[in-house]
Structure 1
Amino acid sequence: MGRHLKSLLLLSVVLATSTASAEAPAQRIATLAPHLAELVCAAGGCARLVAVSEYSNYPASVTKLPQLGGAWNINLEAVLAQRPDLVIAWTDGTPPDQVARLQKLGLRVVWLQANTLDSIGAALEMVGGWLGTKEAAAKAANDYRQRLAGLRAQHRDEPAIRAVYQIETSPAYTISAASPISEVMSLCGGINVFAALPTISAAIGQEAMLAAAPEVVLYGREESAAAIRAYWARLGSAPVAQAGNLFPIDPDLLGRAGPRMLDGVVAVCAAFDQARSRLAEVRRRPTEPGAAAAH
């Protein structure tokens, strides 16, 4: 049987499956970004996942599922092969033209947006509606909202600290207020010194980084810690360098809009607490001989 004929037969199966009522709970779900798989599982639908995007790794069970390619490069044949009756696309990431192609093939595709801490609860409830797991999803959303409210109350009066989330070193990139990571830093009392960037992320020159005078730097654990340390050693007059306030954070906890983002909040707040203590220690150190005379 030729490859073209096989594709046509496969498409006919998909089209037959997709004629079911859109109101019927989805039974075979494909997700097009790692955090979407996490949301489906949290909403009580892990057993219905039949395919996930590249880099999906939580919970561990999803690593055994077929992968559909990257969030920006979907393998359409791989999607069709799994015969999903619901494909969940990422509003802020999945290319609209690829969604359109999936829809032309008869697949039911829905968009899901979760790009703030508050939106995650609503996203869980939305998924529960599609899956018919409203009770489990509502519980997950309620638990999430209660924990988020508790963390906000706990850290409401934290002393402000000037913060940067750093990506790479040659050049260094960082994020603006448009990133959910910036919202997490703010909850913990952090002031994103590059919040006003015109794009969600941008390269930052060393002079601009030094002028911003950050007191704490967060970076993903996938980055080279040695390279990050070397970068700040070259900017030794910056407060963050003087205090050694360089903290690796699990990027999955900050970059994936699901319930685990609150674990990211806990990690960031703990790093900021430690950074404040180190800064206070630096400020208590005796002034170097001759420093006062220099002023």
Structure 2
Amino acid sequence: MYQLGSLGITARTLATPLLLLALTSGAALGQTIPRDAKRIVSIGGTVTEIIFALGEQERIVAVDSTSTYPAEAADKPDVGYIRQLSAEGVLSQKPDLIIAEAGAGPADAITILKASGLTMVSIPTPPEAEAIAGKIRAVGAAVGKSAAAEKLAIDVDTGLAALSQKLAAIDGPKKRVLFALSLSNGRVMAAGTETSADAIIRLAGGINAAGAVSGYKPLSDEAVIAAAPDVVLVMDNPQLHLSAGEAFALPSLQASPAAKAGAFIAMDSLYLLGLGPRTPEAAFDLAAKLYPDVFKP
């Protein structure tokens, strides 16, 4: 499997369809993607979402457990969590093409899949809004639907631009948003910079209250108090059991502006953090919750 990012491609470079097509075809690496692939294993919720958006869902024979949208994806066989794949499970689907988000694993499973001789394409997933269009183009090139992918990419960029114009109407300070991945042992696992949560917060016109750290990090009580979030944002995931009551019961959050206002937002994880075709809508929905006076019905 090869990653476009390892070849020195940035999010901006991904916007060049011809260069993208040449690289995803594997021509420079002696690998040819079967454009007429009939049995695709799609690994990564955003990859699966893009393939469905391109109308190529009938070619998908299996997905991973993060592929939760659209609902029809649940009808496909599940090969496991993106970072805990079973090579045997993937191979049992007899795919002629595997498309996976960068970071799929574990390493030993990927080694087995590479050794099988199957064609694999790794889609770069930098946590940047500017990279969404490139991600769509990469998937489109892999499934032989570059023209449709180009249209979808343009639609996404147009939606993001429209949101940016709407956000210009915000009068007053921006909301400080703390994204909590988990609340375990009384500690907030927060999203700092270089995360998809940071990207969606900024797209929605907010300020990442945990912007002093990079990646997902547990914050000390002192750091949470200093962050002074106006809003606490979490994934709407029943398995995590993250509730406003639990969050605002933490001593570090009890006196925060968010707790005083009861400002707690829960959104579907793939919708919120996927950075895919629905991101303009997800960012708009988040912005409407942050700035209801600007985004009136």
**TM-score category (smaller protein):** 0.7 to 0.9
Q: What amino acid is the match of 2:282?
A: G
1:151 correspondence with 2:163 = yes
SS in structure 2 at match of 1:164:
strand
Distance 1:211 1:46, change over 3 A: same
Distance 1:216 1:69, change over 3 A: same
Partners of 2:139 and 2:202 in 1: CA distance: 28
The equivalences for 1:160-179 within 5 A come to 160-170=174-184, 171-179=187-195
SS in structure 2 at match of 1:24:
coil
SS in structure 2 at match of 1:136:
helix
Partners of 2:293 and 2:219 in 1: CA distance: 22
1:86 correspondence with 2:115 = no
Among candidates 171, 176, 196, match of residue 180 of structure 1:
196
1:110 correspondence with 2:125 = no
Cα deviation for residue 275 of structure 1 reads 9.5
Partners of 1:266 and 1:204 in 2: CA distance: 28
Among candidates 131, 134, 140, match of residue 119 of structure 1:
131
Larger radius of gyration: 1
- Aligned residue number for residue 13 of structure 1: none
Over residues 208-237 of structure 1, what are the superposed CA-to-partner deviations in whole Å (9 max), with x where a residue is unaligned? 2112211121112224313123236x6432
Distance 1:167 1:276, change over 3 A: farther
Distance 1:117 1:50, change over 3 A: same
Among candidates 223, 242, 246, match of residue 208 of structure 1:
223
Q: Normalising to structure 2: TM-score of the pair? A: 0.78
Over residues 232-255 of structure 1, what are the superposed CA-to-partner deviations in whole Å (9 max), with x where a residue is unaligned? 6x6432222222212222222122
Partners of 1:201 and 1:152 in 2: CA distance: 26
- Aligned residue number for residue 253 of structure 1: 271
Q: Give the % identical residues.
A: 29
Partners of 2:119 and 2:73 in 1: CA distance: 21
Residue 44 of structure 1 contacts residue 137 of structure 1 at CA under 8 Å; is this kept in 2? no
Over residues 145-204 of structure 1, what are the superposed CA-to-partner deviations in whole Å (9 max), with x where a residue is unaligned? 111111122113534222211122232111011112111211222111212314x10111
Residue 57 of structure 1 contacts residue 63 of structure 1 at CA under 8 Å; is this kept in 2? yes
Q: Which runs of 4+ in 1 moved over 6 A?
A: none
Over residues 251-292 of structure 1, what are the superposed CA-to-partner deviations in whole Å (9 max), with x where a residue is unaligned? 221222311222220221012114999xxxxxxxxxxxxxxx
Distance 1:105 1:202, change over 3 A: same
Which structure shows the higher helix fraction?
A: 1
Among candidates 34, 53, 58, match of residue 45 of structure 2:
34
SS in structure 2 at match of 1:257:
coil
- Aligned residue number for residue 250 of structure 2: 231
The equivalences for 1:2-17 within 5 A come to none
Q: Structure 1, unaligned stretches of length 5 or more?
A: 1-19, 278-295
Residue 86 of structure 2 contacts residue 109 of structure 2 at CA under 8 Å; is this kept in 1? no
Distance 1:207 1:67, change over 3 A: same
Over residues 57-79 of structure 1, what are the superposed CA-to-partner deviations in whole Å (9 max), with x where a residue is unaligned? 21122111111111111111221
1:130 correspondence with 2:154 = no
Partners of 2:253 and 2:213 in 1: CA distance: 21
Partners of 2:168 and 2:45 in 1: CA distance: 30
Residue 87 of structure 2 contacts residue 110 of structure 2 at CA under 8 Å; is this kept in 1? no
SS in structure 1 at match of 2:183:
coil
Q: Normalising to structure 1: TM-score of the pair? A: 0.79
- Aligned residue number for residue 57 of structure 1: 68
Q: What amino acid is the match of 1:119?
A: A
Distance 1:192 1:138, change over 3 A: same
